[in-house]
Amino acid sequence: MTEAMIDKWTTLGVEQLTLTGAQPRQQQLEKYPVYGPAIAFWLEKFLTRWLDDSTFGK
Q: What are the tens digits of pLDDT across the range 1-57?
A: 889 999 999 999 999 999 999 999 999 999 999 999 999 999 999 999 989 866 656
Q: Give the pLDDT of residue 10.
A: 93
What radius of gyration, in Å, describes the C-alpha atoms of the chain? 15
From residue 46, alpha-carbon distances to 15, 31, 33, 35, 43 in Å are: 30, 22, 21, 16, 5
Integer Cα distance of 2 and 30 in angstroms = 13
- Helices 3-12 and 25-51: crossing angle in degrees, nearest 10, is 120
Between 58 and 14, whose confidence is greater? 14
Q: Give the pLDDT of residue 47.
A: 92
Integer Cα distance of 49 and 41 in angstroms = 13
Q: Give the pLDDT of residue 52.
A: 86
